[in-house]
């Protein structure tokens, strides 16, 4: 009995399968009921060396749909950045139009095609600051993706070690059930001999049924752990192999969510600089081609011109004037300067609003940086406390095993009653569960420290 708790710990740490020998007369429950109960536990399989390790799960988590969505967000930000950079280059536009005019004075058909090159030489620094804004948003999206990955890894680790904590509790309850079942026939014989009351026998049966109920709940929790791991990693999780996380180094790096927020704050500052009263200067060159079709004047035009006749050189119906109005080719080179002179302080208020938005982001950033410093201290302390809990739980387990061994001897000698025996049994199995859970909690605290201190979790995972 003394080393039973240590055996349980060894099983859960190294993945060694543990079996229990059933005594032929260990329970008064008939074979069909016993088989039915174990069939209900068929979804449980002990961890083996063939199961998925933590590194396998984290590798699978890289294919999580949330991460793939973040990858798409990075591509979008990169495209927006490239689009802003291309605003420095000139543009070339082409157009074509056909008009068939029929009014009171004439009928006319025209074809017009044109090419227009435009280059914004100076945009009031708007394009320059737009590129800087889009670059910051691109860097922010990269950092946001990295932070999402670390959060995902942390969730995987919590579910992974949560599974082994539940497994420890399940095995402890199974040991408790077998220990209780082994006493049923003994209590029955004592009851038939008049040496004990029906209360002890029925209490024992009730404890067995309650333990089976608790086992079923723990099996459900283990199944939930595996389903959550499947969701997070896009893997089919059946068996798991337990490994430890390397001891983290105590240093703080800038966390990825802080980097993302920092870059978003910069982007708002650059956005504010795009709101300006500075002038824009552009150079343009337009070349157009006109084709004048059939032009016919109507009598109303002659009357309007005082009978000048359609054949006159300056008649609106004549070709000379129309050719002047629609030259076959034309090239126009121009320089334009645009500047907002007054808009009732509209741009000023826009700029002011963006400055307040940037100031708000800076305050949020300062809070996040301060929060990380506190988090690093908190989770470093949590790691130290988790180590102390392991030592305390180990000592409690040793004491509980020694105590139960003595209580069991006195109970078999009928010195102690069934209530004392049951209390000692519960203390022993609770100590076993607490010890194994403290080992798993210690691993979770390692991962939490790594995340909140800004280090990469994957660097500390054993391959």
List pLDDT tens digits, range 345-376. 889 999 999 999 999 999 999 999 999 999 99
Distance CA 162, CA 237 (A): 14
pLDDT of res. 307: 53
Question: What would the pLDDT profile of 101-134 be if each residue is shown by its tens digit?
Answer: 887 777 878 889 999 999 999 998 999 999 999 9
Residue with tokens 């509209």, as numbered in its chain: 346
Q: Which of 46, 50, 52, 44 is nearest to 19 (CA)?
A: 46
Distance CA 41, CA 45 (A): 9
Does the pLDDT at position 309 exceed 80? no
Which one-letter DSSP state was computed for residue 238?
Answer: -
Distance CA 384, CA 453 (A): 15
**What average pLDDT does range 231-252 have in this prediction?**
94
Which one-letter DSSP state was computed for residue 245?
Answer: B
Does the pLDDT at position 227 exceed 60? yes
User: Is residue 112 within 8 Å of 288, Cβ to Cβ?
Assistant: yes
**What average pLDDT does range 304-331 have in this prediction?**
60
Residue 234, number of CB atoms within 10 A of its CB: 14
**What average pLDDT does range 282-298 have in this prediction?**
82
Threshold 0.85, pTM exceeds: no
Banded pLDDT at 41 (limits 50, 70, 90): very low
């Amino acid at each position: 009995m003394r080393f039973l708790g240590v055996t349980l710990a060894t099983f859960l740490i190294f993945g060694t399968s543990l079996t229990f020998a059933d005594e032929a007369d260990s329970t008064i429950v008939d074979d069909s009921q016993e088989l039915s109960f174990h069939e209900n536990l068929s979804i449980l399989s002990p961890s083996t060396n063939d199961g998925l390790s933590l590194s396998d799960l984290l590798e699978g988590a890289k294919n999580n749909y949330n991460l793939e969505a973040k990858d798409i967000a990075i591509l979008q930000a990169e495209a927006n950045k490239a689009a802003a950079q291309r605003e420095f280059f000139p543009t070339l536009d082409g157009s074509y139009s056909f008009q068939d005019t029929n009014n009171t004075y004439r009928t006319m058909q025209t074809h017009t095609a044109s090419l227009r090159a435009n280059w914004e030489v100076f945009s009031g620094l708007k394009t320059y600051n737009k590129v800087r804004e889009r670059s910051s948003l691109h860097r922010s999206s990269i950092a946001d993706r990295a932070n999402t990955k670390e959060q995902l890894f942390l969730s995987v680790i919590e579910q992974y070690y949560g599974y082994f904590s539940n497994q420890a509790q399940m095995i402890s309850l199974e040991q408790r059930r077998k220990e209780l079942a082994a006493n049923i026939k003994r209590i029955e014989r004592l009851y038939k001999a008049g040496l004990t009351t029906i209360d002890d026998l029925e209490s024992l049966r009730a404890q067995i049924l309650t333990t089976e109920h608790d086992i079923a709940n723990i099996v459900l929790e283990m199944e939930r752990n595996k389903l959550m791991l499947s969701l997070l990693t896009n893997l089919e999780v059946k068996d798991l192999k337990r490994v430890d996380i390397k001891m983290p180094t105590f240093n703080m790096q800038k966390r990825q969510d802080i980097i993302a927020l920092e870059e978003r704050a910069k982007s708002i500052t650059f956005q504010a600089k795009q709101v300006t009263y500075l002038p824009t200067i552009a150079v343009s060159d337009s070349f157009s081609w006109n084709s004048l079709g059939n032009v016919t004047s109507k009598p109303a035009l002659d009357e309007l011109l005082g009978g000048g006749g359609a054949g006159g050189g300056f008649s609106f119906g004549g070709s000379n004037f129309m050719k002047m109005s629609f030259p076959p080719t034309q090239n126009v080179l121009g320089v334009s300067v645009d500047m907002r002179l007054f808009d009732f302080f509209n741009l000023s208020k826009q700029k002011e609003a963006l400055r307040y938005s940037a100031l708000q982001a800076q305050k949020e950033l300062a809070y996040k940086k301060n929060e990380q410093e506190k988090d690093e201290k908190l989770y470093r302390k949590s790691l130290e406390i988790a180590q102390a809990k392991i030592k305390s739980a180990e000592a409690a387990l040793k004491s509980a095993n020694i105590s139960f061994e003595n209580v069991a001897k006195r109970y078999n000698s009928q010195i102690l009653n069934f209530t004392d025996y049951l209390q000692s049994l519960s203390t022993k199995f609770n100590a076993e569960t607490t010890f194994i859970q403290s080992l798993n909690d210690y691993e979770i605290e390692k991962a939490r420290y790594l995340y909140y201190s800004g280090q990469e979790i994957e660097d500390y995972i054993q391959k």
